[in-house]
Structure 1
Amino acid sequence: MIAVLRRLSFKSGYVRNIATLMTGTALAQAIPIAISPILTRLYSPEDFGIFALYMAIVSIASVAVTGRYEMAILLPKKDGDAFNVVVLAMGLSCTVSGLLFLMMVLFNQSLAELLGAPSLSRWLYWVPVSTLLVGIYQSLNYWVNRKGHYRRLAVSRVTQSGSSALVQLGGGYTGSGAAGLVGGQLIGQALSSIVLGKLIYREDRAEVGKITKPRLMAMARKYSDFPKYLIAAHGINIASSQMPVILLGMLFNTATAGFYTLTQRVMGAPMSLIAGAIGDVFRQEASHSYIQQGSCKDIYQKTLKRLLLIAAPLSVLFFFAAPWVFGFVFGPAWHVSGEYAQILTPVLFFGFVVSPLSSMFMIAERQQVDLAWQVCFFAAVGGSFFIGMLFSSAKVSLMAFSLAYSVMQIVSGLISYRLAAGKFL
């Protein structure tokens, strides 16, 4: 695949950065995919369902912990200012995660019952730990992205994936149930944050001396639009992406949520491997071009073409092979996940092509537009599951969701293209 990208290259440094990230991300994604056939025989669909609900809550709560300031780390012209934004985001992560812990203590049982999974109750206490680790890692991740040190990102991703896999395998063989899946995730998050933090401190420790309270407050004020608009916008976006897991668990059962989770786990691999790496590099290159020229249309167009060339054949292959592959590789009990995957192929295609380019909303600082789109997207996803509920069918819900997702991603792509061309909405 890297050879393909080289043939499609339009800037050697650009492709080299993509290749570096892809190498690390490939290893990081290969590990969980490689052990998935083992995990599906060690854990039940119900276990995967509990884990999916836990991660859904973590994903939604994590949006607020940094105030979304980490997304502003790429914007300051001076590294000293950018590093103050890093510290600001991590400080907020500690504060907000502490408040979240109090909420989990007060509303623990009520939340578990609302989600239709009473056994999730004991794991809710660990949600603030996960959100804190996510906030720290994302802040460090954007700093590394700004500096163009993609090797560090690759190392941290392999660390997280490998350590999580080892713990989850160990937990499965000891019959720990959902505890093995949740515990593996927590340990992977912690180790990857530690590794990335050490790498940054070793080479960028001079920036620590530039941290001052006045500069922290100045950066907080300068980029106040990020928490003002992006917490709501990205909270709605994550809620929309996690809504299928939550609603499948609430409307049907945790096993159904587990089937969907395996589908997402397998479908997410190529997206994270290629589109994620391209998105990281595009964000850095496009930010630089936009700051200097007020436009990054050429980079946008060339990136879009390459994403389309990769996505089209992968999606066609995935559509026809999914049901057979899931049943054969993961066991007969998981054939339903293959049927879900076939239904969700358009989600794979449009997510692959459009998501890496959606950072244009932040690069162009059009957070208001992003918020409006996210609200419409949330309504579309919610409406799709309402249709499925009327038919009392998980498959109908997923068909409606696939259609709604595709339409909204097309709209997002059209808007981000206008922003890349310097046309404001």
Structure 2
Amino acid sequence: MTLTARIRQWSDNNQFAHSVLALTSGTAAAQLIVVLASPVLTRLYSPAQFGELTLFMSVLGVLAAICAFRFELAIPIPRDERVAVSLVVVSIIALAAFTVAVSVLSALFGKTLVRELSAETLNAHLWMLPLALFVTGLFMILNMWCNRQNQFGEIAKSKVVQSLSMVLVQIVGSSLGGASLIGGRIVGLFLATFLLTTASLRSGFARDKLPRLKELRKAVSDYRRFPLVQTWVGLTSSASVAIPPLLFAWFYDLQTAGAFGLTIMILVAPMSLIGNAVENVFYRQAILAHRDGVLHQLMLAVHERLVVVSLPVFLLGFTLLPEAFTVIFGDNWEQAGVFASFVLPWMFLQFTTTPCTNVFPILDKHWTALWFQLSLAVAPIFAFAFGEMFVSDPSLVVAVLSFLSCLVYLSRLSIAYKAAGVSLFSGLAVLLRAAPYSFVCVLPLVMFRGFAEGSLYIDFFFVLAFTTSLALCFATIWMRWIRLRAMPN
């Protein structure tokens, strides 16, 4: 079989396309539950209460990224199943030790931290942090084991259960305030982790005896680069997400942090989770492609498909913001709509570049990955420093942050392409080929804004323009996808 034929088999047949379909469909269903429930939640909870949730999840995200010292990322890599089981055990041991340390630190310094962030209402929820951390870490470890076993359907099912249970707890317990927002997250993670635990046991995990101490030590030694280097990558990656809400609370207030948190929940989180679903499958296939010397072809194929399916949708969303946020979520969330309009370009680049450029660990370029994540973590600091010196409008701070993040993702794409042997012009051609038909998709809405404003039949014209644009999006995505599948190599 030729290299090109092998790539076509990965991307079009059972192993890759079906895995992506299983994982992305489950992820999309899970996010659809959250998005559909959001208009209800935004009317049950205030922006300040969403601010509490945002700050809690920001701190949890930073801690969860390093809670197993990144050993979980190595689980899909070994050829020997016994080594992979050893890595699972090592990850769980590291997670338990880390959770104990966080429990002690939270008891000693937690109240001081929330006081500095002017979020004293979080004091009542600090006891949930170690519990949420352990459950999140265990979910991450089991997720990578199921990834290794190609149990993508089980992963997808766990995401749906997680979202459904989370939303139910948050709606039913709304009278308890911010505690239900946080508690719903924990309940959802617990049930998802339980499902992955049963799936792992069914897959034959630790069918024989658990690894001996000697085997655990060898696994730690062989994959020591993951805690030594990837821990810093994970820390900086999570910090890039956590720092903006923390700085919004520090420089402004909980309400502004909550508005930014809703933007993350509606735009960033769905795109990240769908991208992570593709990334989970791509990471395993990229390991095999690298062994066969065809990684560059797989990267380019995945990148083009991501651009094809996302660019029309992002442009459609851009034409509807920021007014759509006020209509859907209520008048209290106008600021979140303004934030979302600035965040969209950043999200497009994150969605289309992150899954297919997560090859630095495979290429043994851990320090390169670290520098890019460090750049993303530093970008919010520069953006808020700019805002502190020159402007007082948080919306402009978000605009600067989006611009800086776009530069980082473009740099990451170009360097990942070069490391894998892909021409930068090939990557640029992907975007240029997708741009014309994407602009055609949103043309009806652009014309509506130009000619129908002030008309007595404005609602009719909007529905007509939106329906036409949406139909064009689906039609062009479908035609482009079919053309990519049939394109000769």
Contact (CA 8 Å) 2:149, 2:203: kept in 1 or not? no
Contact (CA 8 Å) 1:112, 1:120: kept in 2 or not? yes
In structure 2, give the amino acid aligned to 1:18: V
In the other structure, the counterpart of 2:313 is 314
1:360 maps to 2:362: no
Moved more, 179-188 or 108-117: 108-117
Contact (CA 8 Å) 2:75, 2:144: kept in 1 or not? yes
Match of 1:132 among 131, 134, 142: 134
The alignment partner of 1:415 has SS state of: helix
Runs of 4+ in 1 over 4 A off after TM superposition: none
Q: What is the CA-CA distance between 1:373 and the residue it aligns to?
A: 2.2
1:248-278 Cα deviation digits (max 9, x unpaired): 1110000001111111111035414642322
In structure 1, give the amino acid aligned to 2:29: L
How far apart in 1 are the matches of 2:294 and 2:71? Answer: 23
Matches within 5 A, 1:76-87: 76-87=78-89
In structure 2, give the amino acid aligned to 1:344: V
1:63-95 Cα deviation digits (max 9, x unpaired): 221000000111111111111101111111111
Q: What is the CA-CA distance between 1:324 and the residue it aligns to?
A: 2.0
Contact (CA 8 Å) 2:279, 2:355: kept in 1 or not? yes
Matches within 5 A, 1:300-379: 300-379=299-378
How far apart in 2 are the matches of 1:123 and 1:421? Answer: 49
How far apart in 1 are the matches of 2:416 and 2:127? Answer: 39
Q: What is the CA-CA distance between 1:208 and the residue it aligns to?
A: 5.1
In structure 1, give the amino acid aligned to 2:200: I
What are structure 1's unaligned runs of at least 5 residues? 1-5
1:48 maps to 2:50: yes
Moved more, 381-390 or 94-103: 381-390
Matches within 5 A, 1:151-230: 151-172=153-174, 175-207=175-207, 209-230=209-230
In structure 1, give the amino acid aligned to 2:321: A
Q: What is the CA-CA distance between 1:114 and the residue it aligns to?
A: 1.6
The alignment partner of 1:75 has SS state of: coil
Counting matched residue pairs gives 414
Q: What is the CA-CA distance between 1:311 and the residue it aligns to?
A: 2.2
Q: CA RMSD in A?
A: 1.8
Contact (CA 8 Å) 2:85, 2:205: kept in 1 or not? no
How far apart in 2 are the matches of 1:376 and 1:19? Answer: 32
In the other structure, the counterpart of 1:282 is 282
Q: What is the CA-CA distance between 1:152 and the residue it aligns to?
A: 0.9
Contact (CA 8 Å) 1:24, 1:154: kept in 2 or not? yes
How far apart in 2 are the matches of 1:263 and 1:289? Answer: 36
In structure 2, give the amino acid aligned to 1:140: L
How far apart in 1 are the matches of 2:132 and 2:419? Answer: 34
Q: What is the CA-CA distance between 1:310 and the residue it aligns to?
A: 1.8
Contact (CA 8 Å) 1:71, 1:362: kept in 2 or not? no
What are structure 2's unaligned runs of at least 5 residues? 1-7, 424-489
The alignment partner of 2:176 has SS state of: coil
Contact (CA 8 Å) 1:322, 1:339: kept in 2 or not? yes
In the other structure, the counterpart of 1:271 is 271
The alignment partner of 1:364 has SS state of: coil
1:186-242 Cα deviation digits (max 9, x unpaired): 111111111110111123144452422111111111111111111112211211111
In the other structure, the counterpart of 2:119 is 117
How far apart in 2 are the matches of 1:13 and 1:108? Answer: 46
In the other structure, the counterpart of 1:94 is 96
In structure 1, give the amino acid aligned to 2:408: M
How far apart in 1 are the matches of 2:113 and 2:178? Answer: 18
1:139-161 Cα deviation digits (max 9, x unpaired): 11011111111111011111111
1:403 maps to 2:403: yes
Contact (CA 8 Å) 1:322, 1:338: kept in 2 or not? yes
Which one has the largest radius of gyration?
2
Contact (CA 8 Å) 1:29, 1:272: kept in 2 or not? no
- Call closer, same or farther: CA 1:417–1:203 in 2, change over 3 Å: same
In the other structure, the counterpart of 1:380 is 379
1:132-184 Cα deviation digits (max 9, x unpaired): 11111111101111111111101111111111111011111xx1110110100
In structure 2, give the amino acid aligned to 1:103: L
In structure 2, give the amino acid aligned to 1:77: R
In the other structure, the counterpart of 1:232 is 232
In the other structure, the counterpart of 1:3 is none
How far apart in 2 are the matches of 1:419 and 1:87? Answer: 33
How far apart in 2 are the matches of 1:274 and 1:102? Answer: 35
How far apart in 1 are the matches of 2:103 and 2:342? Answer: 37
TM-score, normalised relative to structure 1: 0.93
Match of 2:151 among 145, 149, 163: 149
